[in-house]
C-alpha cells in the first residue's frame, strides 16, 4: 500500500497534466476533501488519486471535469464522502 505522503507527492506531480480549467475544479475538490477531518489522511489521498486518474483519462478524451463529475465539486465530494465508512 502506498503511504499518504507518497500519494500526496504523486498527486502534486500528476496535477501538472491538467488543463487550467480542470486544475481549478480539481483543486476545489481536493481542498474540500482534505478539510473533512473525519476522513483519514490515507483515505482522503486514495480518493483524490482515484479522482485525478479519472480526470486525466477523461481529459485525454477531450472532456472537462464538469462534464465528468458535474458542475459542483463540493456536491460531488459530498456524494463520495457519504458513501465512505466512518
- pLDDT tens track for 13-71: 999 999 999 999 999 999 998 888 777 888 889 989 999 999 999 999 999 999 999 99
Q: How confident is the model at residue 83 (pLDDT cuts 50, 70, 90)?
A: confident
Give me the residue label for grid cell 483519514.
Answer: 40
CB of 81 closer than 8 Å to CB of 36: yes
Q: How confident is the model at residue 85 (pLDDT cuts 50, 70, 90)?
A: low
Q: What is the DSSP string of 8-57?
A: HHHHHHHGGGS-HHHHHHHHHHHHHHHT-TTS-HHHHHHHHHHHHHHHHH
Residue 22's pLDDT is what? Answer: 96
Angle between helices 20-34 and 73-82 (to 10 degrees): 40
**Dihedral angle at the C-alpha atoms of 69, 74, 75, 81, nearest 10 degrees?**
90
Amino acid at each position: 500500500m502506498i503511504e499518504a505522503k507518497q500519494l500526496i507527492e504523486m498527486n502534486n506531480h500528476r496535477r501538472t497534466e491538467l488543463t487550467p480549467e480542470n486544475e481549478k475544479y480539481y483543486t476545489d475538490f481536493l481542498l474540500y476533501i482534505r478539510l473533512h477531518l473525519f476522513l483519514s489522511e490515507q483515505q482522503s489521498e486514495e480518493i483524490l488519486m482515484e479522482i485525478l486518474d479519472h480526470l486525466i483519462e477523461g481529459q485525454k478524451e477531450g472532456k472537462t471535469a464538469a462534464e465528468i463529475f458535474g458542475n459542483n465539486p463540493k456536491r460531488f465530494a459530498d456524494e463520495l464522502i457519504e458513501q465512505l465508512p466512518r
